[in-house]
C-alpha cells in the first residue's frame, strides 16, 4: 500500500546533509552541533540512491510535474537539488511512494545555513576575515607560530597600528613561558593550534565555504527507512517554462490537414534521458507559498500577573456561523485540490489511439507519429508516443497532432472597422471545425494554400467539435464600406395617475456595400458589432453571434456587388408629470403629430383647465399687488401726519385721506378673498382632471 509523506522529521542530520549546507541552505546552531556529532561510521551505514527521472508532465499554467522511479536496497538516502525559485513549490508538492518504509523523512537546511554554520564553529570564517581577525577571535587559545623561529604561547590579542596615509600594521600579542611576545603578522610563516578541535573546525569551515559556491542550489535529503530491495518513486511540482504550440494548416489538400508541433524547454541543470513526456493544456489554479524560510509570528509582551483592579470591558456577539462556513469551504477546496492532483499524477496513462491523418500536399503528412491525447479532468493531456531525451538548457519541437479537419474558406468583413469611415478589404479566412478528437491549445497557425505559404493566423483554445474562424490575410480584390442612418419614433403613449409615459424606439441602421472585382464567386461573413441594449430588427435573426458580434453569411457574385442593411432598435421610455409641465411644453405635446389623437384631445382639455387656473391665480396676484400699493401709500401718509400734526389744516387733510385708504383696503381685501377661492377651485378642478385621466 502506497503512502505519501511530505513532512520533515526532527531527527539528527546524517552526513549527506553536508551537501545541503554546502549548497547554501540555512542551518541553525543546534543543527550544526548535531552535524558535528555525527561520526564517519554513521555516514557509511546508509546507502546513497539515485532515482532516475522517468516521467514529466508540463502544464500550461507554468509548472511541471516530475516523477522519479527506480529500485533501492535497505535504508536509502536520495538527494534532490532545486534552484532557489523552485524549492517552495517542491516543499508544497513533494510526494513519496515506498511500500516498505514506515517512517521516511525529508530534511533540508533552512535559510542562511552557511552563515549560521560558520558562526557556530570555533573558528568563525563567516565574514571572510583575515589572519589578524581570525587570531583575534580566538583569544586564550594556545598557538605554535613559526616567525621564523618556533614560538609557543597563548593568544592575548591582535593590535593594529595605523600609519598614514592608509597603512595598517597588525601585531600578534602572544603570552609565552618567557613572557609577552609581540610578533608582526607579516612575519608569521605558519601557525598551528594546539587544540585539535580548533583545527578540525577550521578544516570544516573551509569545506563548507568550498562547497557553497553554487548559491542557486537548494537540496532536499529524502531518507527511506525500508528493508530489502524494492521499487520506489517520488514526485513533485516545480515552476517550468510554459510549453508552446504552433500549427500548420494546409487548405490546398484534398482534405484540409492540421499539423501541430509542441515546443518544450529544458531550462534545468538535469538532462532528460528517455523520459515519458506529457503536455497538459488547461487553466488550473497555481500559486507559490513561501514555505522554505522559517516563519515566526508576532507575540505580544504581557505584563506580570500581579493582582489589581479589574478592567471595564464589553463583549461583542460572535460570528460562529461565519467561521464554520469559512472553515468548511477551505476544507472543501483542499479536498478538491488533492483529488485533482491525484487524478493528474496517479491516473493510469490510458492513451487514445492516434487519429489517422490524410495525405496533404504542402505538409506531406500522414506518417508522422504524434502524441496521444486523452481527457484529464477538465484539462487535456498529450503524451508523446516515444520516450523523450533532451539535454539540459536545450529546447525541442515535438510532433503533437496531425489530423484532417473540416475547413471552409470564406471572407470576413469587419463591420467595426468599416464604421470608422473609408473603404476596407475583408479578411481572407477559414471556418474550422475541430474534428481531431482533441482539445487543441492556443497558438499560431501557418496557413498553406495551393502548395505554398498563404499567411499566418492565431487561434485561441479550440475545444472538440467547436467551430472557429481564423484570418490569415486580406482580399485586395474585394472592397467595402459602411454608411449609417438613425431615427426615433413613438410606439405608444399612456396616461395614468397624472403621469404621461411616452414609449419610443431609437433605430440604428447600418448599410454595408461590398464590391467584388474578381471573376470568382465568394462567400462572405459580415460581422456587425452588437449595440448594447438594442434589439435586432432587420434581418430578423443572425446566422451566428458572439457576445459582441452578429454574423451574417452572404454570397458575393463574380464582379458583383452586395448591399446589406442591419437595423437595431433600442427601446426608450419618457415619463412626464403633467402637473409640473410648463404651458409651452404642454402645448408642444398637445400639437405633436407623434402623440395619438385621443391623447392630444385629453391634453387640450387639460391645457384649457390649466389656463383657467393660471388666469385665476394671475387675477389674485394683481389684487394682492393693488393692496400692497395701498398699504404703502397709507404708511407714507402716516409719516407725513406725524410731521404736520393732526391739529393743523394739513394734518386734517391727511386724516381724511387715511380714512379713504382704509375703506379702499377693506374693499380690496374682500375681492382678494373671492379671487383666492376662485384660484383654489380652478386649480383643484385641473388637478382632479389630470389625476383621473387614464389612457393605455
229 plus 276 within the same structural domain:
no
Nearest to 174, CA basis, from 211, 132, 218? 132
CA dihedral 392, 393, 397, 400 (to 10 degrees): 60
**303, three cell numbers:** 505584563
Note the pLDDT of residue 367.
Answer: 58
State the Cα–Cα distance between residues 239 and 88, nearest whole angstrom. 10
Note the pLDDT of residue 81.
Answer: 86
Tell me the residue range of the domain where 45 lies: 1-51+66-127+198-239
Nearest to 433, CA basis, from 458, 410, 405? 405
Least-confidence region, from 278-282, 390-394, 405-409, 618-622: 278-282
Nearest to 426, CA basis, from 489, 475, 370? 475
420 is a domain residue:
yes
485 plus 385 within the same structural domain:
no
Provide, rounded to the nearest whole percent, the portion of the chain with pLDDT above 90: 32
Least-confidence region, from 97-106, 287-296, 435-444, 554-563: 287-296
Note the pLDDT of residue 362.
Answer: 67
248 plus 373 within the same structural domain:
yes
Domain end among 208, 239, 270: 239
State the Cα–Cα distance between residues 280 and 38, nearest whole angstrom. 45
User: Does 135 have pLDDT greater than 60?
Assistant: yes
394 is a domain residue:
yes
258 plus 406 within the same structural domain:
yes
257 plus 390 within the same structural domain:
yes
What mean pLDDT is reported for the chain? Answer: 78
Kindly state the average pLDDT of the residues 644-672. 87
645 is a domain residue:
yes
Q: Which residues of 330-344 are buried (b: 16+ CB within 10 A; e: fewer)?
A: eeeeeeeeeebbeeb
Least-confidence region, from 103-117, 379-393, 480-494, 501-515: 103-117
> Is residue 488 within 8 Å of 507, Cβ to Cβ?
yes
Q: What is the pLDDT of residues 398-435, one digit of tens each?
A: 998 898 889 999 999 999 999 988 999 999 999 999 99
Domain end among 526, 553, 577: 577
Note the pLDDT of residue 39.
Answer: 34
443 is a domain residue:
yes
Sequence length of the chain is 696
Domain end among 239, 272, 301: 239
> Is residue 514 within 8 Å of 415, Cβ to Cβ?
no
Pairing of strands 394-404, 257-266: antiparallel
State the Cα–Cα distance between residues 383 and 57, nearest whole angstrom. 9
454 is a domain residue:
yes
State the Cα–Cα distance between residues 72 and 51, nearest whole angstrom. 8
CA distances from 435 to 257, 333, 371, 442 (A): 11, 35, 16, 16
User: Does 212 have pLDDT greater than 50?
Assistant: yes
334 is a domain residue:
no
> Is residue 266 within 8 Å of 272, Cβ to Cβ?
yes
Global pTM? 0.60
Q: What is the pLDDT of residues 47-91, one digit of tens each?
A: 556 899 999 999 888 899 999 999 999 888 898 888 888 888 999
226 plus 179 within the same structural domain:
no
User: Does 22 have pLDDT greater than 60?
Assistant: no
Pairing of strands 47-48, 63-83: parallel
Adjacency order of strands within the sheet including 452-459: 394-404, 257-266, 244-250, 443-449, 452-459
Q: How confident is the model at residue 257 (pLDDT cuts 50, 70, 90)?
A: very high
Nearest to 68, CA basis, from 88, 43, 98? 98
**Better-predicted residue by pLDDT, 600 or 445:** 445
638 plus 673 within the same structural domain:
yes
546 plus 451 within the same structural domain:
no
Question: How many structural domains does the chain have?
Answer: 5
Largest CA distance in the chain: 148
604 plus 669 within the same structural domain:
yes
Q: How far is CA 418 from the centre of its chain?
A: 33
Note the pLDDT of residue 687.
Answer: 85
495 is a domain residue:
yes
Residue matched to cell numbers 522511479: 69
> Is residue 224 within 8 Å of 213, Cβ to Cβ?
no
User: Does 9 have pLDDT greater than 60?
Assistant: no
631 plus 508 within the same structural domain:
no
- Dihedral pair phi/psi, residue 617, rounded to 5°: -65, -35
Strands, DSSP E only, in 198-320?
217-239, 244-250, 257-266, 272-281
Q: How confident is the model at residue 600 (pLDDT cuts 50, 70, 90)?
A: confident
Kindly state the average pLDDT of the residues 454-473. 91
- Dihedral pair phi/psi, residue 19, rounded to 5°: -65, -25
Kindly state the average pLDDT of the residues 626-641. 89
State the Cα–Cα distance between residues 382 and 376, nearest whole angstrom. 10
Residues 6+ apart with CB under 8 A from 643: none
Residue 437 backbone class (left: φ over 0; alpha: ψ -120 to 50; beta: rest): left
Note the pLDDT of residue 66.
Answer: 95
- Dihedral pair phi/psi, residue 256, rounded to 5°: -50, 135
Mapping DSSP to helix (H, G, I), strand (E, B) and coil, where does residue 534 land?
Answer: coil
Q: What is the pLDDT of residues 268-317, one digit of tens each?
A: 888 999 999 999 887 777 777 777 777 777 767 666 655 444 343 333 43
Q: How confident is the model at residue 14 (pLDDT cuts 50, 70, 90)?
A: very low
Mapping DSSP to helix (H, G, I), strand (E, B) and coil, where does residue 5 land?
Answer: coil
75 is a domain residue:
yes
Q: What is the pLDDT of residues 160-205, one digit of tens each?
A: 888 777 778 888 888 888 888 888 888 888 888 888 888 787 777 7
83 plus 154 within the same structural domain:
no
Q: What is the pLDDT of residues 303-340, one digit of tens each?
A: 665 544 434 333 343 344 334 444 444 444 444 433 44
> Is residue 424 within 8 Å of 433, Cβ to Cβ?
no
Note the pLDDT of residue 535.
Answer: 93
Q: How confident is the model at residue 260 (pLDDT cuts 50, 70, 90)?
A: very high
264 plus 405 within the same structural domain:
yes
> Is residue 560 within 8 Å of 671, Cβ to Cβ?
no
Amino acid at each position: 500500500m502506497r503512502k505519501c509523506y511530505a513532512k520533515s522529521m526532527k531527527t539528527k542530520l546524517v552526513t549527506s546533509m553536508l551537501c545541503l549546507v554546502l549548497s547554501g541552505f540555512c542551518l541553525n546552531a543546534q543543527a550544526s552541533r548535531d552535524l558535528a556529532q555525527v561520526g564517519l561510521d554513521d555516514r557509511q551505514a546508509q546507502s546513497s540512491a539515485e532515482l532516475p527521472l522517468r516521467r514529466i508532465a508540463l502544464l500550461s499554467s507554468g509548472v511541471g510535474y516530475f516523477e522519479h522511479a527506480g529500485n533501492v536496497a535497505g535504508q536509502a538516502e536520495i538527494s534532490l537539488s532545486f534552484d532557489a525559485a523552485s524549492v517552495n513549490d517542491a516543499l508544497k508538492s513533494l510526494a513519496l511512494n515506498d511500500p516498505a518504509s514506515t517512517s521516511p523523512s525529508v530534511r533540508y537546511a533552512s535559510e542562511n545555513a552557511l552563515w549560521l554554520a560558520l558562526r557556530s564553529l570555533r573558528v568563525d570564517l563567516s565574514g571572510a576575515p583575515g589572519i589578524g581577525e581570525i587570531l583575534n577571535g580566538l583569544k586564550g587559545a594556545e598557538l605554535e607560530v613559526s616567525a621564523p623561529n618556533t614560538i609557543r604561547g597563548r593568544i592575548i590579542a591582535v593590535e593594529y597600528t595605523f600609519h598614514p596615509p592608509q597603512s595598517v600594521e597588525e601585531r600578534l600579542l602572544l603570552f609565552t613561558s618567557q613572557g609577552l611576545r609581540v610578533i608582526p603578522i607579516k612575519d608569521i610563516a605558519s601557525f598551528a593550534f594546539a587544540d585539535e578541535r580548533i583545527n578540525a573546525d577550521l578544516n570544516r569551515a573551509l569545506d563548507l565555504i568550498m562547497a557553497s559556491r553554487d548559491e542557486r542550489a537548494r537540496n532536499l535529503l529524502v531518507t527511506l527507512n525500508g528493508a530489502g530491495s524494492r521499487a520506489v518513486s517520488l514526485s513533485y511540482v516545480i515552476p517550468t517554462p510554459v510549453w508552446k504550440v504552433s500549427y500548420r494548416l494546409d487548405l490546398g489538400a484534398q482534405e484540409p490537414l492540421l499539423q501541430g508541433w509542441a515546443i518544450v524547454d529544458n531550462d534545468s541543470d538535469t538532462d532528460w534521458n528517455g523520459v515519458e513526456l506529457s503536455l497538459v493544456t488547461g487553466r488550473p489554479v497555481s500559486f507559490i507559498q513561501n514555505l522554505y524560510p522559517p516563519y515566526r509570528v508576532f507575540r505580544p509582551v504581557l505584563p506580570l500577573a500581579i493582582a489589581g483592579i479589574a478592567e471595564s470591558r464589553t463583549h461583542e456577539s460572535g460570528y460562529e456561523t461565519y467561521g464554520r462556513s469559512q472553515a468548511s469551504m477551505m476544507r472543501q477546496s483542499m479536498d478538491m485540490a488533492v483529488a485533482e492532483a491525484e487524478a493528474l499524477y496517479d491516473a493510469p496513462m490510458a492513451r487514445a489511439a492516434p487519429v489517422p491523418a490524410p495525405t496533404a500536399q504542402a505538409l506531406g503528412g500522414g506518417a508522422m507519429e504524434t502524441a496521444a491525447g486523452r481527457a484529464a479532468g477538465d484539462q487535456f493531456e498529450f503524451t508523446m508516443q516515444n520516450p523523450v531525451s533532451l539535454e539540459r538548457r536545450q529546447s525541442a519541437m515535438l510532433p503533437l497532432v496531425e489530423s484532417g479537419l473540416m475547413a471552409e474558406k470564406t471572407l470576413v468583413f469587419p463591420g467595426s472597422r468599416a464604421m470608422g469611415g473609408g473603404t476596407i478589404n475583408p479578411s481572407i479566412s477559414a471556418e474550422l471545425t475541430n474534428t481531431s478528437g482533441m482539445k487543441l491549445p492556443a497558438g499560431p497557425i501557418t496557413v498553406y494554400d495551393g502548395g505554398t505559404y498563404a499567411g499566418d493566423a492565431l487561434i485561441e483554445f479550440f475545444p472538440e467539435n467547436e467551430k472557429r474562424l481564423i484570418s490569415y490575410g486580406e482580399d485586395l480584390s474585394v472592397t467595402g464600406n459602411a454608411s449609417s442612418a438613425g431615427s426615433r419614433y413613438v410606439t405608444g403613449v399612456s396616461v395614468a395617475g397624472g403621469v404621461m409615459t411616452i414609449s419610443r424606439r431609437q433605430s440604428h441602421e447600418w448599410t454595408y456595400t461590398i464590391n467584388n472585382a474578381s471573376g470568382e464567386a465568394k462567400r462572405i461573413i459580415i460581422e456587425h458589432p452588437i449595440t448594447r441594449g438594442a434589439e435586432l430588427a432587420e434581418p430578423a435573426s443572425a446566422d451566428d453571434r458572439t457576445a459582441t458580434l452578429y454574423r451574417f453569411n452572404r454570397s458575393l457574385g463574380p464582379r458583383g456587388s452586395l448591399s446589406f442593411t442591419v437595423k437595431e432598435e433600442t427601446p426608450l421610455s419618457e415619463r412626464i408629470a403633467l402637473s409640473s409641465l410648463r404651458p409651452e411644453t404642454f402645448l408642444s405635446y398637445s400639437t405633436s403629430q407623434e402623440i395619438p389623437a385621443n391623447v392630444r384631445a385629453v391634453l387640450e382639455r387639460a391645457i384649457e383647465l390649466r389656463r383657467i387656473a393660471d388666469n385665476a391665480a394671475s387675477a389674485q396676484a394683481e389684487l394682492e399687488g393693488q393692496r400692497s400699493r395701498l398699504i404703502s401709500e397709507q404708511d407714507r401718509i402716516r409719516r407725513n401726519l406725524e410731521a404736520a400734526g393732526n391739529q393743523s389744516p394739513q394734518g386734517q387733510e391727511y386724516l381724511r385721506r387715511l380714512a379713504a385708504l382704509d375703506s379702499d383696503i377693506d374693499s380690496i381685501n374682500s375681492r382678494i378673498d373671492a379671487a383666492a377661492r376662485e384660484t383654489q377651485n380652478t386649480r383643484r378642478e385641473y388637478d382632479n382632471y389630470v389625476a383621473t385621466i387614464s389612457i393605455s
